[in-house]
């Protein structure tokens, strides 16, 4: 019996030693959080923090409210094998600068922040991807600086003309925009907290990063996006329409989670008349405002396929 026990112990030791390297090889990779490069760009004196991963054609991703670069983690993983994928913190958020004053959040400055990131990467143009306020910046960049952009991907932010039209003419959209009108009021940021702002994040581990990022952010700056750029609630629905915006001259891929209650799908109507190149619209039932997380796999695979046909 002693001999058998000794043999068994020896076999177990051999098996253990043989298996260990395989277990180490199959251990899960580090989270994207720990693998991205950390960088800063200078946008006329304002620091714009961004992260990057991968090599190839440049993609710049722009988050919205309330969010930061980590919202793009699934898309960055999916695209980084073929592209240089950059995700920026917009001014006021996380590790980017937080200049004081509503005027510091006017759309031309937000657009210039993206240009600073492109320049910091040593490029003259990029694929631009934007969600929510990042989508508004992306649309505006495409209309005002077409030479900076190769293709446009928009997530849950209808064309600014569509939003303006719906707020003026659609009572339901005006009702659902009340939160934004409230954000425009002085002192509204006093009602915010990092925990409240991160309440929409479904992944428990990610929510920890969000709360930390929001603790580093400036709530007043976040709401200054609405004060500087969002339509006002007292606009006259009978007023003459503003001059038409320039048409977008690059290909556009747009996603819209149909469960979004802040931005109703009626604003999507007519977008095809505002784009000169091919326009692809993907509406996703069951997904909400944060479609890049609610339907992460569908968004990532569709984006990868669409870009693969246009960007080389």
pLDDT at 14: 33
Tokens of 303: 């984006």
Q: Where are the alpha helices (DSSP H) in the chain?
A: 2-25, 32-35, 73-79, 107-120, 133-144, 160-169, 171-176, 178-183, 194-197, 204-215, 219-229, 291-294, 296-308
Does residue 282 sit within a domain?
yes
Q: Mean pLDDT across the stretch 272-294?
A: 98
* Long-range pairs of 119-126 with CB within 8 A, sequence gap ≥ 24: 119/41, 120/39, 120/40, 120/41, 120/42, 120/50, 121/52, 121/58, 121/84, 121/86, 123/58, 124/148, 125/58, 125/149, 125/150, 126/57, 126/58, 126/59, 126/60, 126/86, 126/150
Q: Mean pLDDT across the stretch 241-245?
A: 77
Lowest average pLDDT, out of 3-17, 107-121, 169-183, 255-269, goes to: 3-17
Does residue 126 sit within a domain?
yes
Does residue 114 sit within a domain?
yes
- Under the banding of pLDDT at 50, 70 and 90, the label for residue 243 is confident
Residue 209 has pLDDT above 80, yes or no: yes
Distance CA 228, CA 222 (A): 11
Does residue 237 sit within a domain?
yes
Does residue 296 sit within a domain?
yes
pLDDT at 13: 36
Q: pLDDT tens-digit profile of 118-158?
A: 999 999 999 999 999 999 999 999 999 999 999 999 999 99
pLDDT at 29: 64
Q: Mean pLDDT across the stretch 16-23?
A: 36
Sheet holding 46-53, edge to edge: 37-43, 46-53, 84-88, 58-62, 126-131, 149-155, 252-257, 279-284
pLDDT at 238: 67
pTM: 0.90
Does residue 6 sit within a domain?
no
Q: pLDDT tens-digit profile of 57-91?
A: 999 999 999 999 999 999 999 999 999 999 999 99
Among 293, 292, 312, 294, which Cα is nearest to 303's? 292
Residue 11 has pLDDT above 60, yes or no: no
Give the SS3 label for residue 279: strand
Does residue 49 sit within a domain?
yes
Residue 236 has pLDDT above 70, yes or no: no
Query: Angle, nearest 10°, between helix axes 133-144 and 107-120?
Result: 80
CATH of the domain at 254: 3.40.50.1820
Label residue 5 left, alpha or beta by phi (over 0 means left) and psi (-120 to 50 means alpha): alpha
Q: End-to-end alpha-carbon separation of the chain, Å?
A: 69
* Number of separate domains in the chain: 1
Does residue 9 sit within a domain?
no
**Residue range of the domain that includes 79:** 37-308
């Amino acid at each position: 019996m002693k001999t058998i026990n000794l043999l068994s112990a020896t076999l177990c030791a051999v098996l253990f030693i043989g298996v260990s390297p395989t277990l180490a090889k199959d251990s899960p990779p580090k989270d994207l959080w720990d693998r991205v490069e950390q960088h800063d760009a200078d946008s006329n004196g304002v620091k714009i923090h961004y992260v990057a991963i991968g090599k190839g054609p440049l993609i710049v991703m722009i988050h919205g409210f309330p969010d930061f670069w980590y919202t793009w983690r699934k898309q960055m993983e999916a695209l980084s094998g073929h592209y240089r994928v950059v995700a920026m913190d917009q001014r006021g958020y996380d590790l980017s600068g937080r200049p004081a004053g509503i005027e510091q959040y006017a759309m031309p400055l937000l657009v210039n922040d993206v240009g600073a990131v492109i320049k910091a990467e040593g490029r003259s143009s990029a694929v631009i991807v934007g969600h929510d306020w990042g989508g508004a910046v992306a649309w505006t960049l495409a209309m005002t600086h077409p030479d900076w952009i190769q293709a446009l991907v928009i997530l849950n932010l209808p064309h600014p003309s569509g939003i303006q039209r719906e707020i003026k003419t659609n009572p339901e959209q005006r009702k659902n925009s009340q939160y934004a009108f409230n954000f425009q009021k002085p002192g509204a940021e006093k009602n915010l907290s990092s925990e409240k702002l991160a309440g929409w994040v479904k992944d428990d581990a990610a929510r920890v990063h969000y709360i930390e990022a929001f603790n580093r952010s400036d709530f007043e700056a976040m709401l200054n996006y609405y004060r500087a750029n969002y339509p006002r609630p007292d606009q006259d629905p009978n007023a003459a329409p503003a001059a038409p915006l320039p048409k977008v001259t690059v290909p556009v891929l747009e996603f819209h989670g149909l469960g979004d209650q802040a931005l109703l799908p009626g604003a999507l109507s007519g977008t095809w008349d505002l784009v000169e190149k091919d326009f692809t619209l993907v509406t996703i039932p069951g997904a909400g405002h944060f479609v890049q997380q609610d339907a992460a796999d569908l968004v990532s695979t569709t984006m990868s396929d669409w870009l693969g046909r246009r960007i080389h």
